[in-house]
Structure 1
Amino acid sequence: MPMPWDFRPLEGARVRLDLLREDDFDALYAIQSDPDVCRYLLYEPRSRGRVQEVLERDAAATRLGEADSFVQPAIRDAAGRLIGTMYFKIASVEDKTAEIGWLLDPRFQGQGYAREAAALLLDLAFGELGLHRVYAELDPRNAASVALCLRLGMRHEAHFREHMWFKGDWADTGIYAILAHEWRG
């Protein structure tokens, strides 16, 4: 597996994955402070100060190498606007496994942007990085994310009932995954 891998922009037909920048703050704050966006996320709507901290942390995450290393690039549309972020974390170097996730501005949902951005990362994962398996861990009530997993060819591998205490109640966790040979097929 060719690691470490230093982040470089990934180009799609309509989106570009690029590092977060300081001038992304307002758009990122709008997304991460929206209660509807945060409904299925592990955090509540974020304050301006917390978004600034996250922006600085995620902009500095530029190298994949060991377990738990991650990148969280911006999803940019053709005009260069921040419309969301992706998440890609090496879960195990030995097992050639990574986790993927996404966050999209509601104004851009349902238009194929998240699918294209996720496909860019899956191409990287199963191509240049030589990974074997990529999975998404999500709240199964999030129908849009479940549908995206299925459109990407991921299979539903697990459903953990009342798996975590989440925002004042017990919540389930769904696991969706795809293997390298399935992505290439």
Structure 2
Amino acid sequence: MHPVNITGPRLQLRELHSRDVDALHAIQGDADVTRHMKLEPRTREEVEHAISCSITSAGAEPRNIYMLAVVCSEERQLIGYADLDLDPFAEKAATIGFMLRPDIWGRGLGTEVVHLLCALGFHHLGLHRIWATRSPLNAASGKTLLKAGMTEDGRIRDHVFVDGAWRDSITYSVLNHEWQAPEGICVSTCS
């Protein structure tokens, strides 16, 4: 599916563009944003490279990686990043993740991002299962995933190597027959 354009009541998921470098760097270069992630704060050059990879992967056939901009519907301002990666080891499954600017945390926008990713996965890509992981210390992310309809599945011990140490991950999932699109989430082809 290209280009992606999925809309919700307050947010839109769209393809990343080269003009998004500075706005995305302000998010992915922020130590508060990446504190619970598998990555260190990114340099502007690393963000530029990631966007270039996103643009390339958007045209791939088949497309397996969806790296997307999270945009406020009203202001058309990039406020975050979301991704959906098809799982190469499980049929009709994908992992999701997202990052939002710290100044908008606590407004329920993360829940909307998860719903938009589920709309993309279930209604546009025909997936059966979508799953996500979080750091055990990131309780806010756990609340967001649960609020979006996901179920906590368990813990993967020593899952990622971060800051010179192994870290567990808490896993969540939702199945296509469990997820219900909330009002205002566009589940048909949106433009």
TM over 0.5: yes
Q: Is 2:37 the partner of 1:21?
A: no
Q: Is 2:103 the partner of 1:107?
A: yes
1:63–1:71 Cα contact (<8 Å) kept: no
1:180 Cα deviation after fit: 0.8
Q: Unpaired runs of 5+ in structure 2? A: 182-191
Out of 87, 101, 107, which is 1:91 matched to? 87
Q: Deviations over 1:118-164 (max 9, x none)?
A: 21221232223221100002212111211111011111112023333
Secondary structure at the aligned position of 1:183 is classed as coil
Q: How many residues are matched? A: 180
Question: In structure 2, what is the equivalent of residue 159 of structure 1?
Answer: 155
Out of 53, 58, 65, which is 2:54 matched to? 58
TM-score norm. by structure 1 comes to: 0.88
1:96–1:130 Cα contact (<8 Å) kept: yes
2:38–2:161 Cα contact (<8 Å) kept: no
2:13–2:68 Cα contact (<8 Å) kept: yes
Superposition pairs for residues 1-185 of structure 1, below 5 Å? 5-62=1-58, 66=62, 69-77=64-72, 78-92=74-88, 95-184=91-180
Amino acid at match of 2:178: E
Secondary structure at the aligned position of 1:86 is classed as strand
Amino acid at match of 2:75: A
**RMSD across aligned positions (CA):** 2.0
Q: Deviations over 1:87-130 (max 9, x none)?
A: 10111486211111111111111112221122122123222322
1:139–1:173 Cα contact (<8 Å) kept: yes
Amino acid at match of 1:73: L
Cα distance in 2, alignment partners of residues 25 and 172 from structure 1: 31
Residues 144 and 14 of structure 1, relative CA distance in 2, 3 Å threshold: same
Residues 84 and 180 of structure 1, relative CA distance in 2, 3 Å threshold: same
Cα distance in 2, alignment partners of residues 57 and 173 from structure 1: 26
More deviation in 85-94 or 106-115? 85-94
Secondary structure at the aligned position of 2:154 is classed as strand
Q: Unpaired runs of 5+ in structure 1? A: none
Q: Percent identity?
A: 34
1:63 Cα deviation after fit: 5.2
Amino acid at match of 2:29: S
